[in-house]
Amino acid sequence: MENKKQLSLEKISELEPSYFELQAYWGTTKHVGGLKATRELIELCHINKGKYVLDVGCGVGITPCYLAKRYDCRVVGVDLSERMIDRSNERAKREGVEDRVEFRVADAQNLPFEDNIFDAVICESVLAFIEDKQGTVDEFARVGKPGGYVGFNEVTWIKAPPPELAEYLSRTVGAEFLTCDNGWKELLEGSGLRETVVRIYKTNALSQWVNEVRQFEFLDFLRAWYRFLFLFTKSPACRRFAKEALSMPKSIFGLFKYFGYGIYVGRK
């Protein structure tokens, strides 16, 4: 069932295409490492039955619903995009976990929660899109309980990429990826988190695709393709966006020489 806020055919021409608005429209979001990375983040943050968890930048709500269903957690998901939150609510309803999850529009840099509330604060592939990364991790630490965990999963440069590759990713998806040392890992320490654990993985196109697909149900997949094709045929602005995204530097073919992901966890 399409949400009431689903764009009408007339409004599609007004859609301002950006990486996240398009993803919200077709109802998918993702992070490097897919379900495998999510499971590892859950384990390293000691999330189990009944825990109270905040997922920051929850996208279309896949991880919050998974936590509610598999671990019987109470979960709050926040995202900057209203359309992502609509998609998350649709998902919670479809998956029958509305009583255990709550979704709100909020900025990761200024979380609308009191101090010391959550057993775990997790964040998958969001910090790369935020300029004030340290201030944001400080926010995660602020809302986490003493003794609780803060964990994030982010694309991590395994070795320095060619400048045009970093520029292309910044231009098309608006992301700034970091290395582990002198980068992501320092954010944990900068927020005063202790007992830090870092795991770095290389990946490749096939394993990335397999792990992403495992997070979706088959119907999610069909729905997303249907919406993608619909949008592509109806919106000239979206076709322009796709054309721009397809003008890739040659070094994109060597992406996985440089590109991996890291799971970064610390305890408050």
Residues of this chain that bind ligand SAM (CB under 6 A): 20, 29-31, 57-59, 62, 79-81, 84, 107-109, 124-126, 129-130
Shortest Cβ 175–ligand SAM spacing (Å)? 8
Please enumerate in sequence order all residues whose Cβ is within 8 A of that of 121, keeping only pairs 6 or more positions apart, or say none: 53, 54, 56, 140, 141, 143, 144, 148, 149, 150, 151
Please enumerate in sequence order all residues whose Cβ is within 8 A of that of 52, keeping only pairs 6 or more positions apart, or say none: 73, 74, 75, 117, 118, 119, 120
Shortest Cβ 81–ligand SAM spacing (Å)? 4
Closer Cβ to ligand SAM, 216 or 258, answer by number = 216
What is the C-alpha to C-alpha distance for residues 132 and 147, in angstroms, rounded to an integer?
25
Shortest Cβ 110–ligand SAM spacing (Å)? 9
Shortest Cβ 131–ligand SAM spacing (Å)? 9
Shortest Cβ 37–ligand SAM spacing (Å)? 9
Closer Cβ to ligand SAM, 174 or 236, answer by number = 174
Shortest Cβ 166–ligand SAM spacing (Å)? 17
Closer Cβ to ligand SAM, 30 or 51, answer by number = 30
Closer Cβ to ligand SAM, 155 or 231, answer by number = 155
Closer Cβ to ligand SAM, 126 or 238, answer by number = 126
- Answer left, alpha or beta for residue 116, where phi above 0 means left and psi between -120 and 50 means alpha: left
Q: Encode burial over 42-65: b for 16+ CB neighbours within 10 A, e otherwise.
A: bebbebeeebebbbbbbbbbbbbb
Other C-beta atoms within 10 Å of 205: how many?
9
What is the C-alpha end-to-end distance of the chain, expressed in Å? 41
The residue with its CB nearest to ligand SAM is: 59
Closer Cβ to ligand SAM, 22 or 188, answer by number = 22
